Chain A
Amino acid sequence: MFQITICHLYPELLNLYGDTGNITALVKRCQWRNIQANVVKYNVGDHIKFTDIDIFFIGGGADSEQGIASSDMNKIKPYLQQAVEECKALLAICGGYQLLGKFYHTRQGPIEGLGILDLHTESGEKRLVGNIVVKMTAEKPYFLVGFENHTGRTFLHGLKPLGYVVSGYGNNGIDKTEGIRYKNVFGTYLHGPILPKNPVLCDELIRIALKNKYGVEILSELDDSIEEMARRHILKSQHILS
């Protein structure tokens, strides 16, 4: 039986907008395939064995909580950096995504990021809120659906985005890019939560984990009909499907 370990970074601090549902989706889609998925929670000051982790997840939080997380995150930066360079899977949403960049320029001044990804974020005036559809630029084209809710505008310094905005705002509301894909790091503004409604992305993370650990690349098919129906509602409401 295959076994993978998922690390939920700062679940007590960064847990807005139902993003914990992403962990649920990873675990369930493993279970349904008879893959054992263990979840390790990492909170401020914890000690865990980072080299045992196959998939990392980090969500977003309110400003003050994000501040607490970011100061702790500097302590675990070497482990995260190593994981990223070893092509481990990492999904970062919204605030967690911003934290991986070089800095976040707020109205009060710049906040240092982890600097794992070559991107930066500035705070904008208008909050970018609403349903969003993104065309993923990976091997097979796929529409990611979700809900975005952020004031930060993220700019990529030449890195590849996760996809291009079909409807909504994305990284900054200007250049049509959304999120980032660097090695096996997926950064994105999509809540929803993103994984239950985009099973292709969820399975991609599991596939990467299995490939890294066991050299296996094939995942069995699951019945995703209800996932499809939930997706269709968003695609229809954004006039992408009729």
Chain B
Amino acid sequence: MKRIFAIIISKVIMKLARFLGHNGTNFCGEAAVKIYPDLLEWFSSQVKKGIILVAGTNGKTSVNNMINAILKEAGYSVVCNELGANLDSGIVSAFIGSSDVLGNINADFACLEIDEAVLPKILKFIKPDFIIFTNIFRDQLDRYCEIEMILNKIKTALKDNSGARLIINADDPSLVEMGESVPNLKYYYGMNESMDTTDNHVGADSKNELIKDSIFCRRCGNRLQYERYYYGQLGYYFCRNCGFKRPVPDFCASIEKTPMHLKVSGRDFFRANIFTGFINSYTAYNTLAAVSCAALLDIPTAVIEKGLLGYKPQIGRMEKFFINKPIVFNLVKNPVGFNETLKAIGQDNREKTIAIGINDYVQDGRDVSWLWDTNFEILLDFDDKIIKYIVFGRRRHDMALRLKYAGIQMNKIKLADSPKLAVHYMVSDRSSVAYIFANYSLLFETRSILKRRSKDVSDYHMPSVS
């Protein structure tokens, strides 16, 4: 009875929130769990064929939605938290959204992206078949403390979930060490060749010495050597002292240039060619993770390829608008993602305006020190092509300060009191393209302003970098 009550209440909240124009995905889940705490267990036990969790710092939403697209192409019914509400409440909401009032769901699969800090808690209620780990970078440190602590908590939680098979990014030494210390069955994926696509910055990251979270071997503490280095701590690594090294992946990929596509090969003679438009280091990893999972679920290659052809990136991931000029909108949330985004816009030779919105609510991280771990000095390489820097959000002054100390002239920095004003400034100067970046709590408001003012452009997306 309590269960039905919980579901009805949260369904009503969800409808109300949508009616009022909010995306209340976390909120209604919160209400439901308060009334009936075992809701997650109840829902997940009804999933017929399999539960897939996606965890990691960057790429969760993309990987999760790619798997969703593939499974739907294969004709399965899927429960998925598509919009990226990835705290426990968001996951409950995803189930409630597809259940009837009695709490019955009809789902072959559940694919759920989970915040890495919430994963240990979720594993008490959900017994997944697969867990995909994308990467572990520094992110919202006030909430999560250090990476080491998160990894230890995940290790502990996995010990009671030895049935879950892990799909791990072989190029990330932190994840691999975590995987090696738990008894679960593991599959690895990794990039095959040097990922220098059109972006010649992606390869050796010589300029950015700022963030290499785990260049030290997590087994023995010695410095890791890199035979090949991509970004963050990703690459071909080995430890001279204890022999820890990148495992040979079960699935690997290379970026082919003409025409651009991702060539994936893997165990059991698996071969696939994925066409998703532009591919950079980020999309390559995300696609490879999703394809590896689909292959392990025995989805036919043709279905995987077709499913990804129909995949559309989520909102705020290099999304395009047009207001007087082309506008590209992207979510930024941590240094590694922001650095890659900055490098990507450096490839655009047009005169541009850059707007950056930073808030400090709980979902963003209360601590904005990550702006100082982000390498804004990258901007100096093409500062002559940047007409103006507009900063907005609650911590716009901190953002302006960071740009000042990166060496940007103060007379090029403009403070905007609201996202609306930021958009106004951005579209009314003489640049020929504008890039607008915002962190999580500014995402929806900023996007709705852009959407309202934007002339209809085809649903074209650039690949996500965050």
Contact B148 A226, beta carbon cutoff 8 Å: no
Which stretch from B93-101, B123-131, B392-400 is at the chain A interface?
B392-400
Contact A65 B216, beta carbon cutoff 8 Å: yes
Contact of B398 among A13, A149, A191, A233 (CB under 8 A): A233
**Mask: chain A, 205-235; 1 = CB below 8 Å from B; 0 = not:** 0000000000000000001001101101100
Contact A62 B366, beta carbon cutoff 8 Å: no
| Total CB contacts across the A-B interface at under 8 A | 95
Contact B373 A18, beta carbon cutoff 8 Å: yes
Q: Which range holds the interface residue count of chain B?
A: 35 or more
Contact B221 A227, beta carbon cutoff 8 Å: no
Q: Which A residue sits closest to B413, measured CB to CB?
A: A226
Contact B221 A147, beta carbon cutoff 8 Å: no
Chain A residues within 8 Å of B146, by CB:
16, 62-63
Q: How far is the CB of A57 from chain B (nearest CB, A)?
A: 14
Whether A149 contacts B394 in the complex (CB less than 8 A), given A21-B372, A64-B221, A192-B369, comes out as no
A130 at the interface (CB under 8 A from B): yes
Chain A residues within 8 Å of B211, by CB:
15
Chain A residues within 8 Å of B397, by CB:
226, 229-230, 232-233
Q: Which A residue sits closest to B374, measured CB to CB?
A: A18
Q: Which A residue sits closest to B391, measured CB to CB?
A: A226
**Mask: chain B, 377-421; 1 = CB below 8 Å from A; 0 = not:** 000000000000000001101101110111100100101000000
Residues of A117-140 at the interface with B, using a CB-CB cut-off of 8 Å, are 127, 129-131
**Mask: chain A, 53-67; 1 = CB below 8 Å from B; 0 = not:** 000000000111101
Contact of A196 among B145, B148, B395, B401 (CB under 8 A): B401
Chain A residues within 8 Å of B212, by CB:
12
B17 at the interface (CB under 8 A from A): no
Q: How far is the CB of B155 from chain A (nearest CB, A)?
A: 14
Contact B148 A64, beta carbon cutoff 8 Å: yes
Contact A21 B221, beta carbon cutoff 8 Å: no
B-contacting residues of A (Cβ < 8 Å)?
11-13, 15-21, 24-25, 28, 62-65, 67-68, 127, 129-131, 147, 149, 191-193, 196-197, 223, 226-227, 229-230, 232-233
A-contacting residues of B (Cβ < 8 Å)?
141-142, 145-149, 209-212, 215-216, 218, 221, 366-373, 394-395, 397-398, 400-402, 404-407, 410, 413, 415
A-B contact pairs, 28 of them (CB 8 A): A11-B209, A12-B215, A17-B141, A18-B370, A18-B373, A20-B373, A21-B402, A24-B405, A24-B406, A28-B405, A62-B146, A62-B147, A130-B366, A147-B368, A149-B142, A149-B367, A191-B369, A193-B369, A193-B372, A196-B372, A196-B405, A223-B410, A226-B413, A227-B401, A229-B415, A230-B400, A233-B395, A233-B398
